[in-house]
Chain A
Amino acid sequence: MKGLKIKKLSKAMNGLKIVEQVTANFLPGRITALIGPNGAGKTTLFHLITSELKVDKGEIVYGDETITNLPPYLVARKGVGRLFQDIRVFGNMTAFENVATACYGPCFETPWFPFFNLKRMKSINNDIRERAFHWLNFVDLAEKKDHPAASLSYGQQKLLAIARLLAGGFSLLLLDEPTAGLNPVMIKNVLRLLEKIITEDRSKTVILVEHNMGVVNEVADWVYFMNEGRIAFFGRTDHVLGDKEVREIYLGL
């Protein structure tokens, strides 16, 4: 069971403090929401966790390992997976290939691997195919398997990215607005997915960045409220969403 600890994390860009002294704790087995107005620094915080951006100050600890400023692919190999706000499916690859490539670990991905594992190749490929279809079915995209990802609709691409993420077997999921731009039916599906993820595997840690408070209310146990690069508030979901300050700054109530 690995949790994520963020300690006094700071990041400035062009002299602007985008993330400032953020300290937060994300526990396994639950969905923790990270909310805040546009430009609060939520996506930047994700960029820092996955080393897409370099940390100025502070520390990120996952489990008992420090992952601060580790190259992004190594952070991923520690079990940190991410759903991007701008989705980022592999557009020229089929839906199936998008998910399949997430199933392979690095030891399969040397050019010489197939030549030294001629006999095993068939069973490996079958195994991967099975797993890829499992996740495609999970998001209800099995009949789109041979379509290039770029040809799918926005909502389908989002679901595909979710399937790809789940196929990667990550233990920490950073979800950047998984329901944004989806219709209500799709949102219901994603909600069901989120609940399924966390109930099926209690060792997973989920951080959910979300503007839809209905979604946050429904699935998140705890909420961090971020504003102007700082954590302004933390608490149980009903508590934070009911707070007068949060309602004023963010919800405009």
Chain B
Amino acid sequence: MNYVLHLLIMIGIYLILSYGLNLVVGFGGLLSLCHAVFYGIGAYTGTLLMIKAGLPFLPAIFLGMVITGLFALIVGLPALRFRGDSFVLVTLGFQMIVFTILYNWIDLTRGPYGIPGIPRPVIAGVEVTELYQYFILVSLFLVVIVAILFVVCRSPFGLALKALRDDEMAAEGLGKSPVHLFLYAFVISGMVASLAGGLYATYVTYIDPTSFTLDESIFLLAILLVGGTGNMIGPLVGTVFMILLPEALRFLGLPDTVAPNVRQMIYGLTLITLMFLRPQGIAGEFKLR
């Protein structure tokens, strides 16, 4: 039961991450390789605001989102001058820079030692400690975020973003400003990731930079590519699939000595097969270039 609850909580956190990223990747058509950066900055700012500034959970999380949003603005301004492969490489650069800072700014982040003993969230006088409580907390945030993103994606803004994705020249010819619209999407997506980071940090009560590596950014992108982008079902399918598949592979009964490696290979093979069968993702409407 605890195992199932733990998986559900992790799925919830990753759903928040992938729905946020979907705005940039699915609606904007931009492959961002630095989403884990915003996830990480959210986790660290939330944590530090609670531990060092003594802020309660909710203000710390929200202030963390604002700070991460500003950071996303700083990343987005130069990155969004590029498209296609160049954009991917620029975001990769930011991913590497921020990871290095998290890893080496020992005074602030304790670097590789990580930050242990992160306090549990206290909301309206109730300390969230039990798994089921945590599950409820994550679900509440998830519902709110998905509802907001649902409205945003179906708004004129979401439509304009899709237009830019499909043909930037034609969309610009209709008066859509690529810089403004992509930047909005990028900042919102960063802020949503920040929230997921705050939830993650207080859930596992320990963070270190290895949770926010390039691998993590790639994993988040893979969730969308597997599930399909540009709609509200794709991230759900992708997240559930990508988190449950490795868990399912545990039950194959492989001998312990080779199990992790074989699991990794089956995992990879499944992804390759999937891309052959459905290049647009399981629930996707279109294929990213």
The answer to whether residues A73 and B160 also contact, given A89-B167, A90-B167, A92-B285 and a CB cut-off of 8 A, is no
Size category, B interface: 20 to 34
Q: Which of chain A's residues have a CB closer than 8 A to the CB of B167?
A: 88-91
Partner of A84, one of B156, B163, B170: B170
Contact A93 B157 (CB under 8 A): no
- B209-240, CB < 8 A from A: 230
Which residues does A use to contact B, with CB under 8 Å? 50, 52, 71-74, 76-77, 81-82, 84, 88-93, 97-98, 100-102, 104-106, 108-111, 113-115, 164, 168
Q: Which of chain B's residues have a CB closer than 8 A to the CB of A113?
A: 155-157
A193 to B187 alpha-carbon distance, docked (Å)? 43
Partner of B173, one of A50, A105, A111: A50
* Pairs of residues from A and B, 7 with the lowest C-beta to C-beta distance, nearest first: A90-B166, A88-B170, A76-B175, A104-B156, A108-B156, A92-B286, A72-B172
- B169-227, CB < 8 A from A: 169-178, 181, 184-185, 188
Q: Could you say which of A89, A104, A111, A168 has the most chain B C-beta atoms within 10 Å of its C-beta?
A: A111
Partner of A110, one of B157, B174, B178: B157
A22 to B12 alpha-carbon distance, docked (Å)? 61
Shortest distance from the beta carbon of B232 to any chain A beta carbon, whole Å: 15
Q: Which of chain B's residues have a CB closer than 8 A to the CB of A97?
A: 159, 162
Extra 19 A-B pairs, beta carbons < 8 Å, given A73-B178, A111-B185, A114-B152: A72-B169, A72-B172, A76-B173, A76-B175, A77-B175, A90-B167, A90-B170, A90-B171, A92-B165, A92-B285, A93-B166, A101-B159, A101-B160, A104-B160, A106-B176, A109-B157, A111-B188, A113-B157, A114-B151
Partner of A72, one of B162, B165, B173: B173
Contact A109 B160 (CB under 8 A): yes
Contact B155 A111 (CB under 8 A): yes
Q: Which of chain B's residues have a CB closer than 8 A to the CB of A73?
A: 172, 175-178
Q: Which of chain B's residues have a CB closer than 8 A to the CB of A92?
A: 162, 165-166, 230, 285-286
Shortest distance from the beta carbon of A7 to any chain B beta carbon, whole Å: 23
Partner of B159, one of A100, A105, A106: A100
Contact A90 B162 (CB under 8 A): yes
A101 to B163 alpha-carbon distance, docked (Å)? 8
